[in-house]
Amino acid sequence: MVQYKPRHLASSFTALAMGVGLLGSSGISGRALAADKTVISVAYGETYVFDTEDLTKKWWNGVKAEFEAKFPDATLQLVPIGGGYDDITNKLSLLYRSSRTAPDVAQIATPVIGQFSSSGYLLPLDSYLADEAWWKQFPKVIQGEGVFQGKTYAVNTGENDSQLYYNMDLFKKAGLPVPWTPHNWNDILNAARTIKAKLPHIIPVWLNAGSSSGDNGILQGAGNLLAGSTVPTIYDKKTQKWVVDSPGLREVLDFYHSVYSEGMGANLSDLFSPSAVTIPLTLIAQGKVAITFGSNYYGGNWTKLICSPCWADATKVAGVVPIPTVDGHSPDIATTVGGWDFAVSASTKSPHYAWELVKLMESDINQINAANWAGFVPANQLIVKEPAFVDFAPPYNAVSAQVLPYGVISPASGDYLVWSHGLQEATGALAQHPNTTVDAAIGVMSDYVSNQLDSSAVETLK
């Protein structure tokens, strides 16, 4: 890749532009220096994936130093991508459109691997993975997340799953048992009703709703409930249709209906805020919410290292327990799972180095650091038992590692996001208008998805 020199063009502009041109860009030095070295580029989320930008830099600069020390004839070029979840995917989609800009290695969100591999952008990794011991430690469900048409195109570098957080102080005040172990969804609703009756100023339940957080709101909200419902199907592989009405969806929306029509949910401006998924972290720490459907990273965020927000007493106040299934059916653990993966570009000129980089990033220490600094659960089942991970945010990390193998991964099709948006609209309607019926909410979802994808692409499961 030839580095474009801003200075060159700037000089042909007015004196104004020139003067500031000198102040402005610092240029990328990596590529210029590397004239006679093999350059491997790696793209990743700059602000979104790790908990803080400092930790992003720490991890990636560490990888760069380690890689260049191990391979003196190679240079690692870092390509951080700013913005949120969608922005990372969008930028990667654009970068991969041209082999000139496609990064050799990229950190890709799990739900979009299917789309990238079906575009022909990614290199199958099966022959490399065959010999790796660490790969054998990945649970089957996670090994499968990078598979497209029988080949593996991506390896996981950290997962997010969900669990229930509850405020033990508030539970005690309301006369509820601590520790609390809900066995089904009614147990959750009943605890919430007790909180509402005894502690009227407390938000009984935080449960993400609406579309402001995109698919993240589903992964950290309704998706967990659907995973624990009696009919969790999202995409019917037999008929190749999207499920927009099913007993499972109705159970989920009925739960939403109970929470929001009984006034047990959070206020709308928080729920519909662009930063909705991170708001409960603060609400829990402030003692304002009793039960939260939340992601595994909460515990890590409260630690002194991450501090967003800092909460030294977290372990004394915030209890954690797996989300049960609707009626307690086995395994009585329900969670979505979705994370980030590493993939290699099909157009890379040095697949060998690209793979060496992936291997290096999958090392135990790098995976543990990534998990702790980004709030992940490592896929490697040996690493999840390492004290460095478990003791980083006890007891939360142990529970998130425990529920991981039961996780449900969302379908790897581009149209999944349309389905997800339909469900977001349905939960949003229930949260915003408490008199919305479950039938009406199903109608919102089914209308939306069939309008977007055509009515022949959706179905009702009995």
**Window of 42-50, 137-145, 319-327, 344-352 that interacts with another protein by CB under 8 A:** 42-50
For residue 409, state whether it binds another protein (rule: CB under 8 A).
Answer: no
E strands, 88-171, in order: 105-109, 147-148, 151-152, 154-167
Neighbours of 304 (CB within 10 A): 8
Count helices and strands in the chain by DSSP H and E runs: 23, 13
CB of 76 to another protein, least distance (A): 15
- Within residues 214-233, the interface with another protein by CB under 8 A covers 214
Residue with tokens 């965020």: 301
From 75, 89, 220, 345, residue interacting with another protein (rule: CB under 8 A) = 89
From 13, 331, 382, 385, residue interacting with another protein (rule: CB under 8 A) = 13
**Dist. CA 392–CA 304, nearest whole Å:** 10
226 and 313 in contact (C-beta within 8 Å)? no
From 38, 52, 137, 363, residue interacting with another protein (rule: CB under 8 A) = 52
For residue 347, state whether it binds another protein (rule: CB under 8 A).
Answer: no
Closest CA to 381 of 133, 139, 146, 129: 139
From 39, 40, 42, 48, residue interacting with another protein (rule: CB under 8 A) = 48
For residue 94, state whether it binds another protein (rule: CB under 8 A).
Answer: yes
- Within residues 104-133, the interface with another protein by CB under 8 A covers 112, 115-116, 118-121
Q: Which is nearer to another protein, 48 or 342 (CB)?
A: 48
**Dist. CA 54–CA 46, nearest whole Å:** 10
Q: Which is nearer to another protein, 192 or 417 (CB)?
A: 417
CB of 430 to another protein, least distance (A): 12
For residue 312, state whether it binds another protein (rule: CB under 8 A).
Answer: no
**Window of 13-21, 250-258, 334-342, 434-442 that interacts with another protein by CB under 8 A:** 13-21
- Is the backbone of residue 57 left (phi > 0), alpha (psi -120 to 50) or beta? alpha
Q: Which is nearer to another protein, 95 or 333 (CB)?
A: 95
Q: Which is nearer to another protein, 175 or 200 (CB)?
A: 200
For residue 443, state whether it binds another protein (rule: CB under 8 A).
Answer: no
Looking at this protein, which amino acid is placed at residue 427? T
Closest CA to 444 of 419, 412, 461: 419
| Contacts with 19 (C-beta within 8 Å, 6 or more apart), sequence order | none
SS3 state at 241: strand
105-109/337-344 β-pairing: antiparallel
Residue with tokens 């019926």: 437
Q: Which is nearer to another protein, 26 or 330 (CB)?
A: 26
Q: Which is nearer to another protein, 302 or 353 (CB)?
A: 302
Q: Which is nearer to another protein, 57 or 198 (CB)?
A: 57
